[in-house]
Amino acid sequence: MQTQYFTGTRGGEDLGITFEDAILSPSASYGGLYTLEEFPKFSKDEIKEFTRLSYEELTRIIFNKLGLNVPRELLCEALSLYKNFDDKSSPAPMYPVTPYLNIQKLYCGPTRAFKDMALQPFSSLFSGFLRTNRSAHNYLILVATSGDTGPATLQSFANQPNIKVVCIYPNGGTSDVQRLQMTTINADNIAVFGINGDFDDAQNLLKSMLKDSHFNAILRAKNISLSAANSVNFGRIAFQIIYHIYASLQIYKINNEKIHTIVPSGNFGNALGAFYAKLMGFPIERIWIASNSNNILTEFINTGIYDISNKSLKKTYSPAMDILKSSNVERVLFALFDSYRTKEFMESLEQIGKFTLNKEELIWVQSYFSATSCDDNFCLETIKKYAKQGYIIDPHTACGIKAYETIQIKYPHAKCVLCSTAEWTKFAPTLAKALDLGNLSDKEALETISKNYKIPIPKQINSLFNQKEIHNKVINKEELLDTILQWL
């Protein structure tokens, strides 16, 4: 397919933007996000052919059909990183739990969370584009994290030439393991800062810096360009589309049935990948969004009202979903409506903390999505219930079980794929609490659960507790920009 160009979700004069452009510089006009204007639609015969492909072959073909125009050698180099995952035949293996529930293990990479699925190949592509792009020079990559994006970004970009990375996380808003995965990384090109605030604060800081003309001018004077590794960058989304396609094909080739995809979701990037896969005609019946007590997404999908004007973030046992402002909802709105309407929605959200779909728009959103939410008690009880059956799941996967139970009532024989976004080792104290093992530290909880349930602790998790915390600076939000410039 010929190269397809990207467009901004809020309109503007962004012309001739390639996939490479969108990766290296992800900010679109009016504060919008880059996305493809259209997605190819595949026939049943084509989809049947896709079921015969390996994960790597599938990725190469889909990237080509999307018109991303990534040189074959560069893409193969990026995809070769999946060979370092647990299963050399697939980076995202399926695990059957019941005849109707498959768990897709998306945490088989180096940091034991689903962000590796995109950030491992993404970092390789980014570095490859820098090598081949004569106009590219030095880059500062910003990343805001609720716990998993940060470790995956830092691990993948550590010691990469001509790239510096600044990671910000909410102080006290991650698990100890997640924090240690960031603060113990020893690489000269990396800086990590805790901020006094929540993830929404961190994400807002990242977005404001990306479009801050004064900050960008200072960087340009230093011969530095600015980019981001969060899912505002379409490079992340491109790789997240693939594992949803892959999961649907694994069920389809056996049962010739469409699946219900369950996605524990905070920032909506993972769910967006499933949405794009469904747009392209892959066998996905519905996409189920699983939220925790910060159930803004569930409210939006069920009512058409996105209202954070009177909400405050709640800390839960599934902290990666402790988010109120979900960036990638914007790309769904653009795909279903248009840039003018999307700009209206986003400006309303920024100005009054709220936007509302009309009746027809809500019906259109609900033709793709359903949503559930659960509280911490359900999360703990579900972890305990599945542990008794021999399945150890993390708190985010437990939230997804609520959606599965709802589907079983509405569609009793539906085939479901639950995206398991993190390994239990990232949240061991929560599991210890659920399993009546007491209030244990991360290290104690890891060792106790490993011993009691005879499951190994990956060496990259175990070794964290013997490493020195290098990045232990915690700052106020308003100090961040100056702190970054001092570091540079």
In contact, 326 and 307? CB cutoff 8 Å: no
Does residue 258 sit within a domain? yes
The pLDDT of residue 15: 86
Strand, helix or coil for residue 141: strand
Q: Closest Cα partner for 91 from 56, 62, 51?
A: 56
In this structure, the answer to whether residues 447 and 480 fall within a common structural domain is no
In contact, 184 and 172? CB cutoff 8 Å: no
In this structure, the answer to whether residues 386 and 475 fall within a common structural domain is no
In this structure, the answer to whether residues 455 and 338 fall within a common structural domain is yes
Does residue 81 sit within a domain? no
For CA atoms 309, 315, 318, 322, give the dihedral sign. positive
Does residue 34 sit within a domain? no
Q: What are the tokens at 25? A: 């510089």
Q: Whole-angstrom Cα distance, residue 4 to residue 36?
A: 7
The pLDDT of residue 1: 65
For CA atoms 17, 20, 24, 26, give the dihedral sign. positive
Q: Domain count of the chain?
A: 2
For residue 473, what are the domain limits? 111-230+466-488
Does residue 189 sit within a domain? yes
Does residue 385 sit within a domain? yes
The pLDDT of residue 134: 62
The pLDDT of residue 13: 83
Question: What CATH number should be reported for the domain holding residue 470?
Answer: 3.40.50.1100
In this structure, the answer to whether residues 443 and 343 fall within a common structural domain is yes
In this structure, the answer to whether residues 334 and 300 fall within a common structural domain is yes
Strand, helix or coil for residue 222: coil
In contact, 422 and 320? CB cutoff 8 Å: yes
Q: Whole-angstrom Cα distance, residue 438 to residue 425?
A: 16
Q: Which helix (H) or strand (E) holds 324?
A: none
In this structure, the answer to whether residues 285 and 419 fall within a common structural domain is yes
Q: Whole-angstrom Cα distance, residue 265 to residue 298?
A: 10
Does residue 337 sit within a domain? yes
In this structure, the answer to whether residues 277 and 406 fall within a common structural domain is yes
What's the chain's length in residues?
488
In this structure, the answer to whether residues 485 and 361 fall within a common structural domain is no
Does residue 33 sit within a domain? no
The pLDDT of residue 211: 87
Q: Whole-angstrom Cα distance, residue 210 to residue 28?
A: 10
Q: Which helix (H) or strand (E) holds 267?
A: none
In contact, 31 and 269? CB cutoff 8 Å: no
HSE, side-chain direction, 13 A CA sphere, residue 32: 28
pTM: 0.95
**pLDDT tens digit sequence for 56-89:** 999 999 999 999 999 999 999 999 999 999 998 8
| Burial of residue 148, with CB atoms counted within 10 A of its CB: 0-12 exposed, 13-18 middle, 19 or more buried | buried
The pLDDT of residue 267: 87
In this structure, the answer to whether residues 412 and 438 fall within a common structural domain is yes
Q: What stretches of 207-366 adopt beta strand conformation (E)?
A: 224-228, 259-264, 284-291, 305-307, 354-356
In this structure, the answer to whether residues 211 and 171 fall within a common structural domain is yes
**pLDDT tens digit sequence for 139-190:** 999 999 988 999 999 999 999 999 999 999 999 988 899 999 999 999 999 9
**pLDDT tens digit sequence for 291-315:** 999 999 999 999 999 999 999 999 9
- Helix spans in 338-477 (H): 339-352, 359-366, 376-388, 395-410, 428-434, 442-453, 459-462
The CA-to-CA distance between both ends of the chain, in Å, stands at 41
The pLDDT of residue 51: 97
Q: Which helix (H) or strand (E) holds 419?
A: strand 415-420
Q: Which helix (H) or strand (E) holds 146?
A: none
Q: What are the tokens at 247? A: 């999961």
Q: Whole-angstrom Cα distance, residue 156 to residue 167?
A: 13
The pLDDT of residue 453: 96
Q: What are the tokens at 274? A: 């499933």
In contact, 354 and 306? CB cutoff 8 Å: yes
Q: Closest Cα partner for 114 from 270, 7, 267, 300?
A: 270
Which residues make beta-bridge pairs with 228? 142
Mean pLDDT, the chain cut into blocks of 10 residues (488 residues total): 90 91 93 94 96 97 97 97 94 96 97 97 95 79 92 95 95 92 96 94 90 92 92 95 98 94 94 98 98 97 97 93 93 97 97 98 98 98 97 97 98 96 97 97 96 96 95 95 94
In this structure, the answer to whether residues 173 and 267 fall within a common structural domain is no
Strand, helix or coil for residue 383: helix
Q: What are the tokens at 165? A: 């990375």
In this structure, the answer to whether residues 390 and 460 fall within a common structural domain is yes
